[in-house]
Structure 1
Amino acid sequence: MKTKKRLGKGLEALISAPLEQIAQQLPETAQQVDVYLIDPNPFQPRMEMDPVAFEELKKSVKEKGIIQPIAIRHSKNGRYELIAGERRLRAAMAVGNKRIPAYVLNVVKDEDMLEIALIENVQREHLNPIDLARGYQRLIDECDLTQEKVAEKIGKDRATVSNLLRLLKLPAPIQESLKKGDIREGHARALLGLSDKNAQIELMKKTVKLGLSVRKVEEAVKKIKNSSFPGMMEKTMRKKPAFIGRIENKLRQKFGTQVKVRTRKDGGSIEIAYYSREDLDRLLELFEEIKT
């Protein structure tokens, strides 16, 4: 049943606190709305939806209904536009619910729509670290917020926000590996200790292949930074002939580690990196296979 009671502090109250808190303070503001009258939020920040988590949500909705109302605003021709709660709306529709409890908010500006959706998203959804960092970055870029303000609005300390944002500096393959859960956030933060992108990617691949712990990765980063392999950690190496680069790539693929080919007038050398005793044993086994 609709009432005249509205959000006491208006939009600011919703942005400054999770929707759950608003629901507790103003339980009578929700009303039942036809799900087919609600259009998607064009500013929805979620990158992808976990199918397993979504199935669990559908089961919960089927058994218990929608416990937390979604948030919508008036649109054209008697329709509504979703502000926050996409997963709940999809789940309700998937299990055949015709109506859903919703807060109808007086939100006019599109930037307000984006800010509410982003904040609700990073507070409520089980986002991976990369999608979470991208949500924080969108709040900064598109809502003109500082890191301090983002931290304040989502109830986190500034260091947490700053550390997550640093993950966006990693190369795309590492970000994807973190999104998929192949590596953990601790692994990714350790890889940030290397300035060379190729070295970061090589160590990430090794981490996944060998199942290295965060501590092992931190130790490997320290060894690389202290090693004599300039091409492994800094962009200070001299430009090399293209054929040398191709040889190095083939050797990296063969041995699964960083390889440096050095040439001289009278010959040259090949340097192969390893990061632990187990890694060295693995390389020795490969050499034995080559000999036979």
Structure 2
Amino acid sequence: MVKSVLGRGVGALLPEESQDDADRFFMCDVDKISTNPNQPRSHFDEEKLQQLADSIQEKGIIQPLLVTRKASNRYVLIAGERRLRAARMLGHEEVPVVVMEEGDDRESLELALIENIQRHDLNPIEEALAYTRLMEEFNLTQEDVAKKVGRQRSTITNVLRLLQLPESVRNDVICGTISEGHARVLLRVKDDPDRLQDVRDRIIKDQLSVRATERICTQQPQSDAQPADKVKRPSPEELPKSYCAAVVNQLTNQLHTKVRIVQQGKRGRLEIEYYSSDDLDRLLSLLST
């Protein structure tokens, strides 16, 4: 039943002939509507919200908001927060609503949440939180959720994995500071907080592509510790480690990339890493000045 009515709007939630439409659909005072604390969306794009307000200004609110009735003649929003916010931006005192009674069956409430997920362009983190709510509140598996929202199970699984990232990185995704693709790559280093933070900072500072980020995350970190019986003893002709470390540190700060000195007796080589053709051009420009 749920799958067959998805996409039909809130009208699909209401029996066709068994209720008085006047009791369920009316113009409601916006001040009597409270937002849903369980709303999956936490970030609202101001530009898109203004576009919706412009559309409402021209055509009105075509799709009613879905609410439940609470005490003291007040209502809690189930679906339609963007429409409510846009209406308030325009100074509208009333909006059209459809009331879902407390006695409505659990399937209808579940459908209302699914409709809310499908109707709005939630960012990946909000989408993951919405899927989690569906699974926890309605005892659904990932396979169940995939069928109900019309997506592949692998899509659900991949989106849910983003919740394993630390809150600061999740907030970056919500605000659009980094993309979902970057976030997926950062999952590879989620168990190394320092490295994750370092890569995240480089994504933003150097505007790294997803592919460049992948290359960084797949590199094996250099280990400073070596077993005592395998510590390489420098030859008398090699440069002191303290000097090499100072040079590496200075070049790293100047070039903003990984630098390494490899010694072979009196000889050696200086290795400077780059992560894309643009990054190589940047380094060439710095080295030629």
TM score, norm. by length of structure 1: 0.68
Q: 1:116, 1:186 → 2: CA distance?
A: 29
1:131-170 correspondence to structure 2 within 5 Å: 131-170=126-165
1:33-48 correspondence to structure 2 within 5 Å: 33-48=28-43
Match of 1:204 among 183, 189, 200: 200
Partner of 1:218: 214
Q: 1:256, 1:144 → 2: CA distance?
A: 49
Residues 1:25 and 1:280: Cα distance change in structure 2 (over 3 Å): closer
Q: CA deviation at 1:182?
A: 3.2
Deviates more, 1:54-63 or 1:207-216: 207-216
Conservation of the 8 A alpha-carbon contact between 1:72 and 1:105:
yes
Partner of 1:256: 256
Conservation of the 8 A alpha-carbon contact between 2:43 and 2:174:
no
Deviations 1:259-287 (A, max 9, x none): 799xxxxxxxx997543465456457667
Q: 1:204, 1:170 → 2: CA distance?
A: 11
Q: What amino acid is the match of 1:100?
A: V
Q: Gaps spanning 5+ residues in structure 1: where?
A: 1-8, 232-236, 240-246, 262-269
Question: Are 2:70 and 1:75 aligned?
Answer: yes
Q: CA deviation at 1:16?
A: 7.5
Deviates more, 1:248-257 or 1:212-221: 248-257
Q: CA deviation at 1:179?
A: 2.5
Share of identical aligned residues, percent?
41
Conservation of the 8 A alpha-carbon contact between 1:61 and 1:92:
yes
Question: Are 2:18 and 1:23 aligned?
Answer: no
Question: Are 2:183 and 1:188 aligned?
Answer: yes
Q: CA deviation at 1:158?
A: 0.8
Deviations 1:212-268 (A, max 9, x none): 33233333334x14xxx345xxxxx759xxxxxxx999987665346799xxxxxxx
Q: CA deviation at 1:152?
A: 2.0
Conservation of the 8 A alpha-carbon contact between 1:43 and 1:114:
no
Residues 1:52 and 1:18: Cα distance change in structure 2 (over 3 Å): farther
TM score, norm. by length of structure 2: 0.68
Residues 1:155 and 1:249: Cα distance change in structure 2 (over 3 Å): farther
Partner of 1:275: 275
Q: Gaps spanning 5+ residues in structure 2: where?
A: 227-245, 262-269
Question: Are 2:115 and 1:120 aligned?
Answer: yes
Give the alignment's Cα RMSD to 1 decimal.
4.1
Size of the alignment, in residue pairs? 256
Q: 2:32, 2:167 → 1: CA distance?
A: 39
